[in-house]
Amino acid sequence: MKIWMARTGWFLVSGMALSMAACSHAPDQLPGRQPAGKAVVATLLTVQGSKTAGYASLPGTVVASEQVQMGSRLSGYLRKLHVRAGQAVKIGQLLFEVDPAGVDSQVRQTRADLAQAQAAFSEALSDYRRFGKLYEAKAIPRQKWDQVRSRFAMARARVAAAMAGAASALSQQRYARVRAPFSGIVTAKFMQDGDLAVPGRPILALVNPGHLEVECSVGTRLFGLLHPGEPVSVEREGKSITATVLDLVPVADPLTHTHLVKLALPGTGNGFPAGSFVRVRIPFGEQTEITVPAGALLDRAGIPGVFVVNGHGVAHYRMVRPGTASGGRVVILAGLNPGERIVASSKPDISNGDHVVSGRPSNG
């Protein structure tokens, strides 16, 4: 009985305490409401948009229009590499030699076959002439004459085949000494002296840096706006150069659904070496560009943004995507719309929910 009364008394006291605590809360302090922000005086500006030429910035790679991996058409040990990586070579310069032992043997064999065929042909020719006169004098039958003529034709055919074999062997022998097909730079060596060279396996890579192109992948909408010969801006490390649309591949990649576009760089690339990464700016018409003062752009916990002030004067931090900055202003690519009001400077200490009083309204 005492235990029950004690528990009842505890419940009554607890209930009264909760009721008093609830009654003591002001309306703004009820659970679920945020406390009212402080009042801050700041300069506000109304975001304005201006019509500018629109560009899409796409990644691209500088490549050489003339580039090849040099190999051997023969199987044999690499006798001598005459060049090194990074070396400039001229057209026709000797690059490497392959041991031609196998081809030399083939050449000797074909020459022996040719000599044998020529000897047989000489004998057949002598018979052809001698039996021809006998046949004209009706001293031999027609069947004998036909046999002689057949042997002569076969001997002549063997000589032709032996000559073709010898010529083929000699041409293979020329492949033992490989020369540069164009002037350029040796960019890589894949073998060393003594390695076994086989057809289809590269020995070195050669690039002509005098003819450079930019390759980039373009979406269907932008691809339809490009035309051969059209000038396109290419940028690298703050430097810009005007390239020309060279090739437009009409078939899209089945995985990325993008088209390959090739741009011709002027001269020798003017500081855009082969293999370098660039940005390609493709025009696509007009766009509305929004800029804000550089002081309006903040960084909160690594998130760029600005304070947008609503119609009730309450500030809210909004994430934006900044673009290029110049002349004390920053291009805002996403996150703001024309007509919205923002805090123009980061000087006041503003938090979400603060009530901003305009100290000097402006447009910008």
Asked whether residue 20 is assigned to any structural domain, the reply reads no
Orientation angle between helical segments 101-136 and 142-174, nearest 10 degrees = 160
Q: What is the CATH number of the domain that holds 270?
A: 2.40.30.170
Instruction: Based on the fold, state whether residues 117 and 133 are members of the same structural domain.
Output: yes
Instruction: Based on the fold, state whether residues 182 and 94 are members of the same structural domain.
Output: yes
Helix (H) or strand (E) holding 132: helix 101-136
DSSP 295: G
Q: How many CB atoms lie within 10 A of CB 52?
A: 12
pLDDT at 173: 74
pLDDT, mean over the chain: 82
State the Cα–Cα distance between residues 344 and 338, nearest whole angstrom: 15
Asked whether residue 190 is assigned to any structural domain, the reply reads yes
Asked whether residue 278 is assigned to any structural domain, the reply reads yes
pLDDT at 40: 84
State the Cα–Cα distance between residues 236 and 215, nearest whole angstrom: 14
Instruction: Based on the fold, state whether residues 225 and 249 are members of the same structural domain.
Output: yes
Instruction: Based on the fold, state whether residues 232 and 189 are members of the same structural domain.
Output: no
Total count of residues recorded for the chain: 364
Look at residues 300, 299, 320, 291 and name the one whose alpha carbon lies nearest to residue 308.
320
Helix (H) or strand (E) holding 279: strand 277-293
Q: Among the three residues 174, 192, 218, which one is the final residue of a domain in this structure?
A: 174
Helix (H) or strand (E) holding 197: strand 196-197
pLDDT > 70: percent of the chain: 86
What residues contact residue 180 under an 8 Å CB cut-off, 6+ apart?
A: 89, 90, 91, 92, 93, 95, 206
State the Cα–Cα distance between residues 332 and 93, nearest whole angstrom: 55
For 318, the domain range is: 34-51+288-363
Mean pLDDT of the 5-15 span: 36
pLDDT at 269: 52
Q: What is the CATH number of the domain that holds 321?
A: 2.40.420.20
Q: What is the CATH number of the domain that holds 93?
A: 2.40.50.100
Has residue 233 got a pLDDT over 60? Answer: yes
Look at residues 275, 185, 270, 283 and name the one whose alpha carbon lies nearest to residue 232.
283
Instruction: Based on the fold, state whether residues 115 and 170 are members of the same structural domain.
Output: yes
The number of domains in the chain is 4
Q: Among the three residues 271, 286, 301, which one is the final residue of a domain in this structure?
A: 286
Instruction: Based on the fold, state whether residues 245 and 138 are members of the same structural domain.
Output: no
- pTM (global) more than 0.75: no
Instruction: Based on the fold, state whether residues 273 and 246 are members of the same structural domain.
Output: yes
* pLDDT tens-digit series, residues 183-212: 989 989 999 998 998 888 999 999 888 888
Mean pLDDT of the 107-116 span: 86
Residue identified by tokens 């046949």 is: 135
* pLDDT tens-digit series, residues 24-78: 333 333 344 444 578 888 888 888 887 776 778 899 999 988 889 988 888 888 8
- Span of 103-107, 196-200, 207-211, 322-326 with lowest mean pLDDT: 103-107
Kindly state the tokens that stand for 250: 């009409």
Mean pLDDT of the 285-304 span: 84
Instruction: Based on the fold, state whether residues 120 and 236 are members of the same structural domain.
Output: no
pLDDT at 60: 94
Instruction: Based on the fold, state whether residues 249 and 303 are members of the same structural domain.
Output: no
Asked whether residue 318 is assigned to any structural domain, the reply reads yes
Instruction: Based on the fold, state whether residues 273 and 316 are members of the same structural domain.
Output: no
State the Cα–Cα distance between residues 238 and 215, nearest whole angstrom: 19
Kindly state the tokens that stand for 330: 């920053």
Has residue 7 got a pLDDT over 50? Answer: no
State the Cα–Cα distance between residues 32 and 258, nearest whole angstrom: 49
Q: Among the three residues 252, 271, 286, which one is the final residue of a domain in this structure?
A: 286
